[in-house]
């Protein structure tokens, strides 16, 4: 065929096929080409791009990795459709490979092959051989790339980290050896274990491996070079770790540490993102992919966590996209100590005083005002320079609180000073313990001296009473020691890390060691001091044992000295406690005897005791037993000695004594007299011996006014003395204090310890042994700082008070003169003993008087004495009081005290101890909080609808046990994140005393703002509960909550990351390594500036779901698409654009594609849609490549498939895959839409209907293969030409109306316009033929159909009808609900004008059987052949043909009439030619003939129909309360209505009515029945008050209108819910199917005599701020449903009262109440609570609450205080212009701007009425549907849902079935109430049920749905006839059965005339079985061969 011929169409309808083939290579492998693992036997499927797979699909089998296949040279698509292996399952691998489709364009393959052919002459492609070879190689490579499709499964990335030497030397630095080998829990996680020494520089090399087939360990060790690995280093030093942060700060102090610091901190706080190292071959020649970096091991982890799998370990986390995350557990070994120096208490003497606390928490013993007097005497010489010391000028500390808080602020001994010990009362009532130890220094008003008064008091507050609070007062040594932690690892035995603590005591440290006066409780000694000493001893012994034989001798000796000192301390405390216990034992023995203390029926031994009795308490005032009672004033006598010389010389002799005859009396009168004037010169010893020269007088009592007594009273003030000592100058003698036996105060003495106690010091035996052991070397004795005075005390409740009272040191106006050498010469200058160098007022607490005295001032002796001060003595007027104490157990202080020489105020220096709440400077912390988020739990990908979980490690790094709170500062969380963690309080034991860290879980939920997924980090705090509650202290640990770190701004001169949303950390390249800080000097020209690291931001970030896109534009509007083009424009919309989020802003969104597939089960696979460009090239359609407009709309062009079909399309969002992320994060698939691609025109389907015998007035319907365009005006044209008439009927775009045409769907309906028919009569068309043509029919896609032609005929002429009707059976009774059965014979008789037409086709005619409506005035229902005769039935009969059919008559009227006039049926011609005057015959239908010959249709009276009347007819539920029943006397009137009252009363039909006709007397009784709602048993009869049953049919009950009323006595019926009904009970008709009863509807009847009661505790208490309370809902729950109809019957009021502001709110006035079922809920209106502060009194009153029965609850009242300081949730805060925070109002969204679904339950005020989610916002009504998952045979028709199957025998079973298959749904409500009700009773197929769904939350939200279901409660009626004709009379009946007797005959079989009739009230197809029995002998089964009766089925006799 030439071109011209082809152009003329000669090639039309030829199918051309391109048979060109090409060879392609397919590779299916695991891993990249270097690995190329075989995965199994693959099935590869090839299809042509754009073509239906049904047209072409080629499958190939691949058993290896590579295969070559011949395919059509087109654009070919290939995918792996199957994968199997003999070694294991490949399902998961196949799932991944199936999603990969490779395409190759092989259209030009012929050209490529042609160019690739070798020259014909066999030469190369080029003359240059080298060029030819190169070209051939390039061509081969090109062909390989072009022809190869590789399907590669990479598996899952795993990590195998290795720790190696950073120097490249083959040295093993990972000392884990074989301990804890690597583990993997695929695909969840993997882990490894490593051990490093502290400060080791190491290379971390992570080997990367793709795990291809996990079960078979198939891997590939070479990964893609673009792989990035995230490493978080927890082994170095982190600024987020409090201990490591301190180390970092120390390193930063030296520039030389910069390189080390960079290695320590690399990847520590911000994870590093590392690229794969350059490829490096292994020794075996294979390549291995790695990432590596250099790090340095930081300090050991000395915190032991109880939750840690490996103690004392640190972690390195490794992760990557899609990889199995790996955790490296690393134990860092080595020594580390960040602990401050500590002290131990070394007792050296027995206690000065032991104070025992009596039983009882509030009991106390006070040893009040033990006085120490210090006097300073001086000579009273006139030459002495005078000065005045005014003590009152010094500061005064007023409160104990100030002192407690001020006890030191800086750690460590370097601050100087010493320590205080004691016990004090703790805060917050957690522990109240120990003794209250009170000391007061009180300075009496004595010139040139002062008096210190002490008071000791045990704890008088609640706490540990008794022994725990006993107090010991004694001086101790406080010896400094330091602890070092060493973490070591045992790799040979246990494979565990252990921590050892070593101790070093410094016995010779004169700066830090102290000798304080200490007071301790028994509890502190036994629980703190002794355990700590035992711990230190064990550590020292372990040190000695571990030091080994090679240790230096000096080191070993040093440890021995420390052990010896600690042992002595332990023994000293043991000795003290032993003596203490013996005294207690002795008291026990004296109280209980030898048997001991009785307890629980037995005796507890007391112990050995002291072996001497204790004095009783009454002996306290006896100085013989009480050593601290004041010394009594001595009684002194004197006598004169005279010797006569030139001058009379008189001297005196003295003798003093006391009642106790104590000889040691101070001051000694003999010594004192030596300083008296000349009148009182005492005898010397030598003079007394010269008695011959002397004369003596009698002894005389010394006068009371004698100066000696004044001096005594000065030294020992006596309470009996009326005159207090006012001046040091004593009248009559000089105040020169002689050298008496008074105590000197040396520079090493401590005035803080009463001298009375010092005088009685007794060294401990342990201390004596310790001194004896050092006797050879005194240097080993304990040295301490003698320059300071120290107090040491422990906390727990006791206090130490010093009160210094002195008005002033009076002026001393004397003049100093060097004393002489002899007493006589110096008589006038009174030589004093002097303490020139021993005493200095600046030393000790004497300095507090503010005096500064030069060391060369000559003073008298310093005297110190002790006694009890009596209560009658006057106290000083001014004082400075210093209080030492601490409320917390476990606290301990060593405090040095100094005096400011300028101001005379005290200076305190805390030098040791331990403290908490708050932690004080200079002490070790008891509470040292540590909180750290476990880095490995910072998951970078968390979906925005999921919870973000962190593991939080918390610990107490301190030296004791305490309570801590975990909390979050609301100011950090301004964006509304929901954060929850177990706040505690946590009871944490310090890690320094054996405690461990623990883990808690932190939960983070995203905030309420939809467009916010990234939040600023929030700090998580751990703080002492005590400090937090008290709002003081400085011990707070915190860590940032974040999960993503990002680079905020790229560093200068670097390229920012281009990956969307990639988490960025400092680069691992050498250029980003930390460098030394630049010097202050200018850099040299050759130096480069330091690299500036980028700023890294940390965030709490939730990952948004992959974008949930949906179709928009025409596809959304019409929910479909139709096109006949090759392309289709598709529009989508970004659903987040209204939040301002563009598609490009979504960092993880990669692309949005369109997928399609045929709507066919044979083509289930989805295909990616393509788009076409202007140059006709195609590519995958990606909406991300198109521009998004400002409203978020994006349009793209879809290149449609080449096959016309119905296609299902969907959108698919594809996001960057995140490892372990849920599928919704990685992708989204939209709802699919079905549309049509149609490029073929419509075609007529079948032939027009009717195909023949068209009646001219009927429609002619033409159907097409698809829907056609039916929009007016019609585009198509119709012409019909009728034979022999010469008329053409036309319908086109003109206004011609020859034909009436209707177009709908795929049908065109045509009807002739009779006005356009000749003679304007359809009769002209009868019997003729017509020719139909239809042109220009268009389908919706615009395709035009070819012109269609069809030829057929019109209908025939009329018949000759015949109709005969007979009754079925005789005297058959029919109830009103039963059908009367008759038989009708329909015939087409001979036509007189037609000769012998029998059986000829042209004689076929049409007949209609119908009902004359005039005869059916009573609206009876007629069925013929089971179908209602509403319209005539058509019969097609040949001439002389007849047919018999069954006629049924039903009574459908609700009236009581049972007798009707006969009905008339007609039979007429239905041929069109007979339409104007059809030939018609008729016949009457009746079943009863009266005695007068009248014919009727009669039904037998039924059991009387009744229904409820009065209130009973209006209610389906009756509820009676106690009040109602009491008012009715428990008698309830019940009324019914006799539906047949117009015909008969109930009594007229009663069998008890003798006057009624017998045929109508059927009613036995009409009774009231009841039973419990849940019962299914028999019904009980309701009784009258007389006890007789309630019978409504009794005579005289029913009135003239059919209403009957009776009174039901319910007094004997218990409270419950009942069902009640009234039932007519009738006699059996006999043989007539009747259930003998008729019931009213059932009513729910409730007896409830009990009022409602509140269930549980009402949730009404107001807690938290106003913003929280006004958003909360409060309410009551009750034990039963309430009467909740509005307006409410109850009253709810809330009264708020605060500072005179009283406001009462009620429903609609300040609050909104809602009653629903058994609950009453309420909430406050906005601003209703404004103005009420915390502790507002709230009074709530609820009254008038009624249950459904009307029982009323008593009034409920409740009053409480509204505490606004406690809250669980912060209210939203809005910042106003004046910076005042106010509660946010509900955000309002008008309903027009949002979707209706969800309104009313979306937490938004949609109708702007300041209420959220009230009923007015809910605009979507509930919906009634079938339950999901059920297959129901149902259809919709005329507003009813028709359930076609199954059928039911009763209304109740049908109702139960409907209830089981339906459900109600609502967009908001979940408590929908469903009810199913029947309206009209049983009506066969038309039985109707109404289903109602009500929203329990909003009762006005009610919908109904109507159902029809078949209910047939009447069985079919069967009648049998045996009719042999009139000649047979042997038919008889007996016992309700019909028998036939047949005489023997010659015939083989006798016709029986058997027939039967089945009558069914519900027309349906019946299954009929006929069984025949015979008594014929030959029927015997034993003679089966002789049977004479032909039977189909038999019953054996």
Taken as a whole, the chain contains a residue count of 1997
What tokens were used for 117?
Answer: 């052919």
Closest CA to 227 of 294, 319, 317: 319
What tokens were used for 989?
Answer: 């034991």
Give the pLDDT mean for 161-171: 85
Banded pLDDT at 1218 (limits 50, 70, 90): confident
Q: Is the pLDDT of residue 802 over 70?
A: no
Strand segments (E) across 458-508: 471-490, 496-505
Q: What is the pLDDT of residues 848-877, one digit of tens each?
A: 222 222 323 333 333 444 444 433 343 333
What tokens were used for 670?
Answer: 């003999």
pLDDT at 1080: 36
Separation of alpha carbons 1944 and 1950, rounded Å: 9
Q: Is the pLDDT of residue 1084 over 50?
A: no
Q: What is the pLDDT of residues 79-124, one digit of tens each?
A: 999 999 988 888 889 988 988 889 888 876 655 444 444 444 444 4
Q: Which residues contact 1625 (CB under 8 A, 6 or more apart)?
A: 1503, 1563, 1564, 1565, 1566, 1567, 1636, 1637
pLDDT at 384: 25
Closest CA to 1626 of 1501, 1452, 1450: 1501
% the chain with pLDDT above 70: 71
φ, ψ of residue 1620 to 5 degrees: the values are -125, 150
CA distances from 957 to 487, 572, 984 (A): 16, 30, 17
pLDDT at 672: 64
Give the pLDDT mean for 51-70: 88
Give the pLDDT mean for 480-492: 86
Closest CA to 753 of 445, 447, 478, 519: 519
Instruction: Give the distance from CA 1113 to its chain's centroid.
Output: 40
pLDDT at 1030: 77
Separation of alpha carbons 1806 and 1803, rounded Å: 9
Separation of alpha carbons 1442 and 570, rounded Å: 131
What tokens were used for 1059?
Answer: 């990956």
Helix (H) or strand (E) holding 942: none
Find out whether 668 and 715 touch, Cβ atoms under 8 Å: no
Tracing tokens 């066919």 back to the chain, one arrives at 1160
Tracing tokens 């109904």 back to the chain, one arrives at 1904
% the chain with pLDDT above 90: 24
pLDDT at 296: 94
- Listed in sequence order, the DSSP H helices in 635-706 are 669-672, 685-689
Q: What is the pLDDT of residues 420-478, one digit of tens each?
A: 223 332 222 222 222 222 222 223 333 334 444 556 566 555 445 567 777 887 878 88
Closest CA to 1027 of 924, 927, 1145, 901: 927
Q: Is the pLDDT of residue 1780 over 70?
A: no
Top pLDDT among 1992 and 1246 is at 1246
What tokens were used for 161?
Answer: 């980290």
β-sheet bridge partners, residue 1329: 1353
Q: Which residues of 888-921 are buried (b: 16+ CB within 10 A; e: fewer)?
A: bbbbbbbbbbbbeeeebebebbbbbbbbbbbbbb
pLDDT at 1494: 87
Give the pLDDT mean for 1653-1667: 89
Banded pLDDT at 1229 (limits 50, 70, 90): very high
Top pLDDT among 1365 and 1930 is at 1365
How many C-beta atoms lie closer than 10 Å to residue 1089's C-beta? 10
Q: What is the pLDDT of residues 746-766, one digit of tens each?
A: 344 444 455 545 555 677 888
pLDDT at 208: 93
The region of weakest confidence among 835-849, 872-886, 989-1003, 1325-1339 is: 835-849
Tracing tokens 């409506």 back to the chain, one arrives at 1413
Residue 970, helix vs strand vs coil = helix
Separation of alpha carbons 98 and 1555, rounded Å: 91
pLDDT at 536: 85
Q: Is the pTM here over 0.75, yes or no?
A: no
The region of weakest confidence among 609-618, 1109-1118, 1590-1599, 1853-1862 is: 609-618
Q: Is the pLDDT of residue 700 over 60?
A: yes
Q: Which of 452-466, 1067-1081, 1373-1387, 1582-1596 has the highest mean pLDDT?
A: 1582-1596
Q: What is the pLDDT of residues 1943-1972, one digit of tens each?
A: 665 545 566 777 778 888 887 777 777 776
* Three-state secondary structure string covering 317-346: EEECCCCCCEEEEEEEEEEECCCCCEEEEE
Banded pLDDT at 644 (limits 50, 70, 90): low
Top pLDDT among 1220 and 1818 is at 1818
Q: Which long-range CB contacts under 8 A does 1674-1677 form with residues at least 24 apart?
A: 1674/1721, 1674/1722, 1674/1723, 1675/1719, 1675/1720, 1675/1721, 1675/1722, 1676/1719, 1676/1720, 1676/1742, 1676/1756, 1677/1718, 1677/1719
Banded pLDDT at 771 (limits 50, 70, 90): confident
Helix (H) or strand (E) holding 626: none
Separation of alpha carbons 747 and 907, rounded Å: 19
Q: Is the pLDDT of residue 237 over 50?
A: yes
Give the pLDDT mean for 564-574: 89
Q: Is the pLDDT of residue 1476 over 80?
A: no
Q: What is the pLDDT of residues 173-199, one digit of tens each?
A: 998 888 989 999 888 889 999 999 999
Banded pLDDT at 1068 (limits 50, 70, 90): very low
pLDDT at 1332: 94
> Dihedral sign, CA of 1064, 1068, 1070, 1072?
positive
Q: Which long-range CB contacts under 8 A does 254-261 form with residues at least 24 apart?
A: 255/1076, 255/1077, 255/1079, 256/1076, 258/1074, 258/1075, 258/1076, 258/1077, 259/1074, 259/1075, 259/1076, 260/296, 261/237, 261/1074
Q: Is the pLDDT of residue 403 over 70?
A: no
Separation of alpha carbons 1665 and 1667, rounded Å: 5
Residue 1688, helix vs strand vs coil = coil
Strand segments (E) across 1700-1839: 1701-1707, 1710-1716, 1719-1724, 1736-1743, 1756-1762, 1773-1775, 1781-1783, 1823-1826, 1834-1837
Q: Which residues contact 563 (CB under 8 A, 6 or more apart)?
A: 537, 540, 541, 544
What is the pairing mode between strands 1277-1282 and 1329-1335? antiparallel
How many C-beta atoms lie closer than 10 Å to residue 403's C-beta? 20
DSSP of 1726-1760? TTTTTT--TTEEEEEEEE--BBTT--BPPPEEEEE
Residue 1791, helix vs strand vs coil = helix
pLDDT at 1883: 84
Separation of alpha carbons 1363 and 1483, rounded Å: 7
Give the pLDDT mean for 1705-1716: 92
Q: What is the pLDDT of residues 1605-1634, one digit of tens each?
A: 999 999 989 989 999 999 999 988 766 656
Q: What is the pLDDT of residues 1782-1813, one digit of tens each?
A: 334 455 655 444 445 566 676 677 777 767 77
Top pLDDT among 651 and 151 is at 151
Closest CA to 1261 of 1273, 1274, 1275, 1246: 1246
Average pLDDT, the chain: 75
Q: What is the pLDDT of residues 1402-1427, one digit of tens each?
A: 456 778 899 998 898 888 889 998 88
pLDDT at 1733: 85
Separation of alpha carbons 297 and 314, rounded Å: 10
Banded pLDDT at 1012 (limits 50, 70, 90): confident
Tracing tokens 């070790």 back to the chain, one arrives at 924
The region of weakest confidence among 690-704, 762-776, 1973-1987 is: 1973-1987
Rg (CA), the chain: 58
Q: What is the pLDDT of residues 1554-1600, one digit of tens each?
A: 887 766 788 999 999 999 988 888 899 999 999 999 999 999 999 98
Helix (H) or strand (E) holding 1528: helix 1522-1528
Q: How many degrees, rounded to 5, is the angle at CA 1868 between CA 1864 and CA 1873?
A: 35
Closest CA to 1664 of 1733, 1759, 1722, 1740: 1733
């Amino acid at each position: 065929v030439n071109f011209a011929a082809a152009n003329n169409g000669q090639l039309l309808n030829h199918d051309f096929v391109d048979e060109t083939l090409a060879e392609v290579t397919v590779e299916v492998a695991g891993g990249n080409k270097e690995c190329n693992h075989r995965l199994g036997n693959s099935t590869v499927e090839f299809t042509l791009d754009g073509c239906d797979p049904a047209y072409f699909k080629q499958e190939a089998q691949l058993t290896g990795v590579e295969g070559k296949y011949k395919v059509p040279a087109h654009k070919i698509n290939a995918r792996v459709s199957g994968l199997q292996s003999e070694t294991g399952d490949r399902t998961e691998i196949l799932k991944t490979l199936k999603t990969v489709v490779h395409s190759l364009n092989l259209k030009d393959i012929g050209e490529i092959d042609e160019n690739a052919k070798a020259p014909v002459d066999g030469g190369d492609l080029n003359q240059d051989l080298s060029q030819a070879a190169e070209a051939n190689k390039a061509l081969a490579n090109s062909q390989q790339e072009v022809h190869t499709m590789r399907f590669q499964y990479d598996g899952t990335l795993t990590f195998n980290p290795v720790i190696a030497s950073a120097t490249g030397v083959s040295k093993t630095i990972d000392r884990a050896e074989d301990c804890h080998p690597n583990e993997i829990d695929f695909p969840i996680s993997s882990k490894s274990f490593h051990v490093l020494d502290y400060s080791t520089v190491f290379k971390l090399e992570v080997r990367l491996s793709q795990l291809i087939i996990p079960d078979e360990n198939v891997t590939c060790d070479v990964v893609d070079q673009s792989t990035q690995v995230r490493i978080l280093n927890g082994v170095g030093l982190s600024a987020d770790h409090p201990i490591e942060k301190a180390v970092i700060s120390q390193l930063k102090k030296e520039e030389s540490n910069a390189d080390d610091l960079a290695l320590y901190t690399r990847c520590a706080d911000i994870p590093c993102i590392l690229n794969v190292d350059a490829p490096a071959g292994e020794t075996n020649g294979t390549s291995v992919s790695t990432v590596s970096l250099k790090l340095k091991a930081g300090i050991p982890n000395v915190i032991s966590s109880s939750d840690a799998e490996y103690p004392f370990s640190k972690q390195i986390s490794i992760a990557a996209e899609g990889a199995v995350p790996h955790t490296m557990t690393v134990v860092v070994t080595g020594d580390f100590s960040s602990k401050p120096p500590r002290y131990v208490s070394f007792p050296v003497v027995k206690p000065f005083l032991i104070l025992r606390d009596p039983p009882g928490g509030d009991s106390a013993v006070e040893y009040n005002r033990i006085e120490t007097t210090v006097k300073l005497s001086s000579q009273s010489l006139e030459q002495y320079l005078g000065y005045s010391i005014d003590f009152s000028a010094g500061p005064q500390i007023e409160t104990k609180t100030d002192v407690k808080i001020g006890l030191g602020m800086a750690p460590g001994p370097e601050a100087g000073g010493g320590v205080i010990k004691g016990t004090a009362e703790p805060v917050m009532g957690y522990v109240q313990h120990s003794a209250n130890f009170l000391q007061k220094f009180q300075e009496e008003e004595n010139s040139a001296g002062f008096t210190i008064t002490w008071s000791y008091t045990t704890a008088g507050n609640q706490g540990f009473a008794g022994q725990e609070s006993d107090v010991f007062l004694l001086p101790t040594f406080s010896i400094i020691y330091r602890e070092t932690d060493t973490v070591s690892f045992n790799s040979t035995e246990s494979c565990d890390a252990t921590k050892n603590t070593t101790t070093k005591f410094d016995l010779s440290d004169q700066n830090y060691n102290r000798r304080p006066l200490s007071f301790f409780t028994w509890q502190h000694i036994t629980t703190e001091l002794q355990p700590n000493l035992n711990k230190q001893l064990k550590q020292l012994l372990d040190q000695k044992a571990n030091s080994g034989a090679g240790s230096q001798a000096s080191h070993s000796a040093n440890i021995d000295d420390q052990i010896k000192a600690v042992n002595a301390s332990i023994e000293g405390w043991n000795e003290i406690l032993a003596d203490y216990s013996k005294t207690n034992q002795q008291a026990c023995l004296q109280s209980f005897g030898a048997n001991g203390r009785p307890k629980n029926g037995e005796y507890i031994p007391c112990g050995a005791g002291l072996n001497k009795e204790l004095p009783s308490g009454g002996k306290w005032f006896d100085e013989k037993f009480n050593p601290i009672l004041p010394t009594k004033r001595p009684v002194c006598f004197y006598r004169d000695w005279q010797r006569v010389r030139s001058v009379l010389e008189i001297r005196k002799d003295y003798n003093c004594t006391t009642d106790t005859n104590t000889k040691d009396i101070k001051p000694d009168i003999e010594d004192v007299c030596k300083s008296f004037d000349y009148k009182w010169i005492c005898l010397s010893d030598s003079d007394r011996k010269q008695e011959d020269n002397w004369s003596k007088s009698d002894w005389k009592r010394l006068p009371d006014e004698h100066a000696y007594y004044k001096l005594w009273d000065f030294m020992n003030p006596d309470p009996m003395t009326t005159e207090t000592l006012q001046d040091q100058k004593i009248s009559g003698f000089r105040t020169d204090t002689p050298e008496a036996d008074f105590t000197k105060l040396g520079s090493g003495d401590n005035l803080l310890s009463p001298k009375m106690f010092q005088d009685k010091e007794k060294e401990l035996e342990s201390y004596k042994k310790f001194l004896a052991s050092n006797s050879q070397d005194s240097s080993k004795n304990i040295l301490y700082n003698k320059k300071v005075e120290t107090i040491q005390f422990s906390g727990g409740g006791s206090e130490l008070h010093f009160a210094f009272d002195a008005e002033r040191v009076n002026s001393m106006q004397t003049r100093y003169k060097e004393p002489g050498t002899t007493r006589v010469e110096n008589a006038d200058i009174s030589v004093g003993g002097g303490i020139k160098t021993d005493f200095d007022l600046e030393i000790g607490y004497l300095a507090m008087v503010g005096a500064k005295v030069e060391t060369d001032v000559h003073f008298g002796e310093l005297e110190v004495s002790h006694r009890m001060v009596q209560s009658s003595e006057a106290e000083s007027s001014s004082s400075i009081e210093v209080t030492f104490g601490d409320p917390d157990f476990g606290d301990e202080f060593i405090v040095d005290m100094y005096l400011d020489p300028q101001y005379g105020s005290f200076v305190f220096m805390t030098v040791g101890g331990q403290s908490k709440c708050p932690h004080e400077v200079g002490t070790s912390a008891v509470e040292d909080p540590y909180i750290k988020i476990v880095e490995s739990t910072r998951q970078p990908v968390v979906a925005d609808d999921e919870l973000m979980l962190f593991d939080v490690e918390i610990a107490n790094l301190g030296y004791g046990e305490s309570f801590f709170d975990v909390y979050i500062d609301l100011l950090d969380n301004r964006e509304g994140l929901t954060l929850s963690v177990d706040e505690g309080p946590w009871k944490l034991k310090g890690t320094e005393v054996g405690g461990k860290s623990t883990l808690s879980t932190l939960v983070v939920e995203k905030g309420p703002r939809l467009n916010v997924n990234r939040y600023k980090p929030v700090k998580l705090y751990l703080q002492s509960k005590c400090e937090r509650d008290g709002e003081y202290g400085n011990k707070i640990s915190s860590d940032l909550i974040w999960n993503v770190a990002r680079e905020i701004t790229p560093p200068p001169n670097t390229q920012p990351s281009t990956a969307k949303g990639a988490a960025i950390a400092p680069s691992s390249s050498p250029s980003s390594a930390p460098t030394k800080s630049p010097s202050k000097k200018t850099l040299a020209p050759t130096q480069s500036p330091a690299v500036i690291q980028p700023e890294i931001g940390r965030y709490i970030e939730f990952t948004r779901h992959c974008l949930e896109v949906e179709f928009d534009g025409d596809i959304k509007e019409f929910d479909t698409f139709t096109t006949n083009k090759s392309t289709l424009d598709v529009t989508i919309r970004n659903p987040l654009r209204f939040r301002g989020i563009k598609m490009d802003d979504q960092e993880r969104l990669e692309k949005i594609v369109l997928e399609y597939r045929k709507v066919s089960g044979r083509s289930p696979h989805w295909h990616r849609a393509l788009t076409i460009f202007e140059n006709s090239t195609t590519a995958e359609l990606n909406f991300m490549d198109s521009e998004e407009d400002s409203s978020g709309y994006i349009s793209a062009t879809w290149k449609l498939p080449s096959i016309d079909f119905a296609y299902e399309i969907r959108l698919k969002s594809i996001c960057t895959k995140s490892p372990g992320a849920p599928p919704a994060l990685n992708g989204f698939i939209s709802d699919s839409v079905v549309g049509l691609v149609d490029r073929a025109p419509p075609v007529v389907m079948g032939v027009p209907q009717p195909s023949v015998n068209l009646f001219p007035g009927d429609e002619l319907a033409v159907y097409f293969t698809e829907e056609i365009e039916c929009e007016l005006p019609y585009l198509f044209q119709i012409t019909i030409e009728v034979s022999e008439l010469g008329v053409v009927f036309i319908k086109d775009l003109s206004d011609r109306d020859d034909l009436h045409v209707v177009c709908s769907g795929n049908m065109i309906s045509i009807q002739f316009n009779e006005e356009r028919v000749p003679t304007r009569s359809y009769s002209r068309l009868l019997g003729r033929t017509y020719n139909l043509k239809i042109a220009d029919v268009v389908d919706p896609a615009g395709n035009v159909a070819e012109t269609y032609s069809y030829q057929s005929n019109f209908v025939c002429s009329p018949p000759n009808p015949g109709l005969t009707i007979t009754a079925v059976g005789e005297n058959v009774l029919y109830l009103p609900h039963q059908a009367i059965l008759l038989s009708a014979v329909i015939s087409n008789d001979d036509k007189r004008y037609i000769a012998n037409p029998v059986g000829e086709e042209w004689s076929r005619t049409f007949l209609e059987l119908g009902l004359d409506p005039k005869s059916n005035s009573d609206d009876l229902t007629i069925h013929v052949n089971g179908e209602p005769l509403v319209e005539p039935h058509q019969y097609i009969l040949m001439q002389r043909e007849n047919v018999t059919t069954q006629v049924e008559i039903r009574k459908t009227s609700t009236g009581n009439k049972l007798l009707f006039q006969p009905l008339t049926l007609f039979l007429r011609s239905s041929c069109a030619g007979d339409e104007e005057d059809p030939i018609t015959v008729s016949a009457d239908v009746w079943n009863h003939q009266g005695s007068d010959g009248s014919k009727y249709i009669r039904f037998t009276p039924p059991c009387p129909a009744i229904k409820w009347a009065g209130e009973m007819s209006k209610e389906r539920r009756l509820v009676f309360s106690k009040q109602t029943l009491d008012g009715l006397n428990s008698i309830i009137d019940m009324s019914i209505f006799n539906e047949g009252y117009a015909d008969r009363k109930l009594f007229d039909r009663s069998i008890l009515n003798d006057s009624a006709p017998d045929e109508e007397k059927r009613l036995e009784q009409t009774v009231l029945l009841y039973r419990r709602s849940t019962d299914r048993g028999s019904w009980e009869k309701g009784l009258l008050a007389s006890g007789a049953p309630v019978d409504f049919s009794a005579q005289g009950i029913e009135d003239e209108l059919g209403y009957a009323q009776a009174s039901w006595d319910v007094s004997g019926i218990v409270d419950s819910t009942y069902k009640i009904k009234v039932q007519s009970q009738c006699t059996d008709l006999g043989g007539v199917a009747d259930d003998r009863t008729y019931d009213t509807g059932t009513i729910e009847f409730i007896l409830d005599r009990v009022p409602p009661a509140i269930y549980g505790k009402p949730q009404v208490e107001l807690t938290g701020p106003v913003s929280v309370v006004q958003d909360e809902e409060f309410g009551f729950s009750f034990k039963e449903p309430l009467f909740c109809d509005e307006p409410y019957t109850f009253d709810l009021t809330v009264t708020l009262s605060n500072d005179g502001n009283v406001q009462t709110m009620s429903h609609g006035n300040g609050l909104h109440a809602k009653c629903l079922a058994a609950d009453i809920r309420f909430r406050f209106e906005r601003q209703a609570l404004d103005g009420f502060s915390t502790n507002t009194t709230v009074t709530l009153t609820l009254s008038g609450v009624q249950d459904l029965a009307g029982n009323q609850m008593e009034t409920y009242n409740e009053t409480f205080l509204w505490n606004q300081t406690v809250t669980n949730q912060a209210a939203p805060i809005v910042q106003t212009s004046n910076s005042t925070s106010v509660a946010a109002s509900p955000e309002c969204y008008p309903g027009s701007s949002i979707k209706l679904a969800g309104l009313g339950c979306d937490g938004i005020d949609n109708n702007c009425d300041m209420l959220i989610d009230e009923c007015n916002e809910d605009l979507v009504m509930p919906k009634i549907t079938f339950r999901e998952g059920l297959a129901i045979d149902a259809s919709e028709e005329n507003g009813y849902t028709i359930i076609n199957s199954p059928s039911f025998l009763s209304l109740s079973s049908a109702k139960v079935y409907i209830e089981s298959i339906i459900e109600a749904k609502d967009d908001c409500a979940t408590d929908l109430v469903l009810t199913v009700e029947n309206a009209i009773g049983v009506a066969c197929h038309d039985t109707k049920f109404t289903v109602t769904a009500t929203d329990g939350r909003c009762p006005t939200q009610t919908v109904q749905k109507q159902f029809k279901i078949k209910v047939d409660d009447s069985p079919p009626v069967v009648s049998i006839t045996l009719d042999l004709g009139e000649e047979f009379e042997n038919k008889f009946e007996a016992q309700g059965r019909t028998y036939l007797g047949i005489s023997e005959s010659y015939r083989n079989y006798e016709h029986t005339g058997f027939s039967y009739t089945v009558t069914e009230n519900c027309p349906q197809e019946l299954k009929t079985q006929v069984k025949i029995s015979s008594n014929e002998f030959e029927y015997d089964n034993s003679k089966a061969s002789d049977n004479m009766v032909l039977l189909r089925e038999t019953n054996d006799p």
